[in-house]
Amino acid sequence: MRARHLPADERRAVTVEAVLNLAGSRNPSEITTAAIAQHMNLTQGALFRHFPSKEAIWQAVMEWVAERLLARVDQAARSVDSPIEALRAIFLAHVQFVAEHPGVPRMLFGELQCAEQTPAKRIAQTLIERYGQRLHQLLAAGKASGEVSTTLDADAAVTLFVGMVQGLVMQSLLAGNMGRIRQEAPRVFEIYLDGIRSGR
């Protein structure tokens, strides 16, 4: 990756890309600024001209993830009219996003497990909260339209939805095959739908 002589905004974007590429094949906690600079064909000094610290790099990465993932799921939800179909579209869009960027779940898991309350961890927590709000809104709309059972525990349904994505990610990482997540996701989601649908 060549990152010399780029404008500041592009350099920051290329740095985020470099971190996610590295995180796709190694533990994010083991990624050093030296490794990032080497991956970008830069010196550490050049890297630190755009980021004052490693923490600032991690914050930029998580901001990128939050912005892109929420934009992707919002676009997916707008592409259909039915609340249940919107849930399906979000689920499959999320899975596709992870398959395209395997470093993302590693970064998210890494930050959420971090004991300290870092800026990157706060962004990850806010992302999960905002994602959950979108799911709650769709489940409420599904209840109102009669597609979703009115007795459904929405909090549990949101937890399960996110947990399904996380479970698929973990299995794909363990198998060393992120492409597997695309194959499994539609079948897994059908089981979820059976649990939330109205019995009418």
Mean pLDDT, the chain, integer: 90
How many whole angstroms separate alpha carbon 7 and alpha carbon 174? 38
> In the prediction, which pLDDT does 199 show?
64
Predicted confidence (pLDDT) per residue in 33-58, tens digit: 999 999 998 888 888 888 999 999 99
Q: Where in the chain is the domain with CATH 1.10.10?
A: 1-52
* Phi, psi dihedral angles at 197 (to 5 degrees): -65, 150
- Domain at 55-196: CATH code: 1.10.357.10
> In the prediction, which pLDDT does 1 show?
45
Predicted confidence (pLDDT) per residue in 110-131, tens digit: 887 877 888 888 998 999 999 9
For domain 1-52, the CATH architecture is Orthogonal Bundle (1.10)
Indicate if the pLDDT at residue 27 is higher than 90: no
Q: Where in the chain is the domain with CATH 1.10.357.10?
A: 55-196
> In the prediction, which pLDDT does 7 show?
61
Least confident of 42-56, 135-149, 158-172: 42-56
Half-sphere exposure of 37 (CA within 13 A, CB side): 15
pLDDT-derived band at 170 (thresholds 50, 70, 90) equals confident
How many whole angstroms separate alpha carbon 195 and alpha carbon 191? 7
* Phi, psi dihedral angles at 3 (to 5 degrees): -125, 10
> In the prediction, which pLDDT does 67 show?
95
What's this model's pTM, rounded to 2 decimal places?
A: 0.88
Mean per-residue pLDDT, 67-77: 96
Cβ atoms of residues 14 and 6 within 8 Å: yes
Mean per-residue pLDDT, 133-156: 97
> In the prediction, which pLDDT does 25 show?
84
Task: Give the residue, 132 or 115, on which the prediction is more confident.
Answer: 132
Cβ atoms of residues 149 and 197 within 8 Å: yes
Q: Scanning the structure block, which residue is given the tokens 């739908």? A: 193
Mean per-residue pLDDT, 68-72: 96
| Total count of residues recorded for the chain | 200
Task: Give the residue, 87 or 43, on which the prediction is more confident.
Answer: 87
Task: Give the residue, 109 or 80, on which the prediction is more confident.
Answer: 80
Mean per-residue pLDDT, 134-160: 97
